[in-house]
Structure 1
Amino acid sequence: MDTIGRFAALLSYDGSAFHGFQRQKDLPTVELALEEALNLLDKKGRRVKVTGAGRTDRGVHALGQVVHFDISWPHGPTALRKALEANLPSSIGVYEVVPVDFAFHARRSALWRKYAYFIWKGDCRLPHLGRYVWWNRRGWDMDLAKKFLTMIEGFHEFGAFCRKADRPSDARRTIMEARIEEKGPLLKVSVTGRSFLTNMVRIIVGTMDEIATGRKSLEEVCRLLDGGSRGEAGPTAPAKGLFLWEVRYDPMPFGCEEYNAVTGNFIL
């Protein structure tokens, strides 16, 4: 008799193919695609429920999304990874599937999440990267951009950096690290924290754009981090530049060399 076990999966996906991670009626989502594939694989014919580490919005990508699910599967995790990926659309990849304890929860067990946002500063268009970067040709003062990212690190009131309709009563969050890397005209902004508000990283990037171009001052950032309104912050940067980059656990259930090679080499 087949038993039910819990598995965790490390995924990547092209968010331009989906209306976000979370299931929505009559719309393609990552959660729907995963559950439809897993329903075909469950040996007991059960409906499999997937839980993700983060609910990415429409158009947002993932390089290191983590999900867990309970399934009846007697053939081992390697075979499950191959069978799952074979039944998914090409816009979703599965790096690794591992058995985990039933106490493991993709969202609640996470220590922190890292998001990465990519910006292309070149004068010419990059058609093959158009779905994954924000083409922003405005001149930036990189010292101001870095100072802004340093200012948002730590425990602050981030209500100004949340979509107005979704601002919670307690919008305090902790940013563990915020940094920017340059590879020629390609910029990567990384923001790490335990949890995030709706559109928070994209509004951080949109506000950084206004700081780095001189349309807002660093002095205004202090007010934004002290209960400022959404209208005082910058615009919401386009979804296509944002990736859920990494989710960390202790102990870490994954050791995928392919994933580590991709993230370690700053590959889109």
Structure 2
Amino acid sequence: MARLALILAYDGSVFQGWQTQPTGRGVQDHLEQALAAIAGHPVATICAGRTDAGVHALRQVVHFDSRAVRPGSAWVRGVNAHLPPQVAVREAREVDEAFHARYGASLRRYRYLIHRSPVRHPLLAGRAGWIFRPIDTDRLRASASTLVGEHDFSAFRSSECQAASPVRRIDTIEIAEHGPLLLMSFVGNAFLHHMIRNIVGTLLMAADGRRPVEWVGEVLASRDRRLAAPTFAPDGLYLDGARYDSRFGVDAWGPDEGLDGMLAALR
């Protein structure tokens, strides 16, 4: 058996999340069917981050085992021929059997794209979160800095979260502006269910003046989900890579041109 790693991109708006579903509408369902068609046997996949319904991926990392001997192109173009247009394998390579897409990831990067406008834009539907209130980016950065570091993130954790511990580490939260578009980038060791969407909603309430900047730290310290903002829309959330030990040769932490190119096209 050989172990293979894939880097996958998908438009999450048409799927019920990454994980396999009884309806067959999870990204995992489509990918495993496509892989089985090429491998000639059933295939089970493991991913770096189990994205929710409506959440996208620029660089989702997946590994699977197969006894099939195929050229590298078969695991890319061949698999893509069996996938819907909203999901595609971008890269594939054989890796050491010790590689694990989920447990081997030391860092994960997510980005949230926000459209700031009094009126929503139909061409951004499903691609960016929308807020009609003016955003003060200085307040946004100040409140975001409160969350950097290792904390108990219970206040930003979904009630359906199955993680054994609410403690996670956020290394950086970066904010960039592109005209009416605001891009928030989160890098950390791991994230709880709905954690980023709950954080985004809370940060925006401080950034638009509905709450003081200090409120974000108070919510974090409370460990009480009821005190944070409602879960923000999945539309603008993108999984953009995971970092692994260099010995595996899985380059899933590319430069920023993925979203930069998308943002340039939207302006």
- Using the size of structure 1 for normalisation, the TM-score is 0.91
Map residues 114-263 of structure 1 onto 2, 5 A cutoff: 114-166=109-161, 170-251=165-246, 253-255=249-251, 260=255, 262-263=257-258
- State the one-letter code of the partner of 1:58: A
Looking at structure 1, the residues matched to 211 and 165 of structure 2 have their Cα atoms a distance apart, in angstroms, of 26
Unaligned runs of 5+ in 1: none
Question: How far did residue 227 of structure 1 move?
Answer: 3.8
Aligned residue pairs, count: 262
Q: RMSD in angstroms over aligned alpha carbons? A: 2.0
Is the 1:159–1:167 Cα contact (8 Å) retained in structure 2? no
Map residues 83-98 of structure 1 onto 2, 5 A cutoff: 83-98=78-93
Query: What's 1:61 paired with?
Result: 56
Query: What's 1:30 paired with?
Result: 27
Is the 1:96–1:254 Cα contact (8 Å) retained in structure 2? no
Is the 1:96–1:256 Cα contact (8 Å) retained in structure 2? no
- State the one-letter code of the partner of 1:75: R
Looking at structure 2, the residues matched to 249 and 165 of structure 1 have their Cα atoms a distance apart, in angstroms, of 28
Is the 2:61–2:252 Cα contact (8 Å) retained in structure 1? no
Looking at structure 2, the residues matched to 168 and 264 of structure 1 have their Cα atoms a distance apart, in angstroms, of 29
Counterpart secondary structure, 1:152: coil
CA offset digits 1:33-90 (Å, max 9, x no partner):
0110111111xx3211011101000111101100001123323222321111111110
Per the alignment, do residues 167 and 52 of structure 1 end up closer, same or farther by CA in structure 2, a change over 3 Å counting? closer
Question: How far did residue 267 of structure 1 move?
Answer: 2.3
Identity score, percent: 38
Unaligned runs of 5+ in 2: none
Per the alignment, do residues 213 and 256 of structure 1 end up closer, same or farther by CA in structure 2, a change over 3 Å counting? closer
Counterpart secondary structure, 1:265: helix
CA offset digits 1:166-210 (Å, max 9, x no partner):
375631111011111101110111111111111000001000111
- State the one-letter code of the partner of 2:216: V
Looking at structure 2, the residues matched to 215 and 151 of structure 1 have their Cα atoms a distance apart, in angstroms, of 17
- State the one-letter code of the partner of 1:226: A
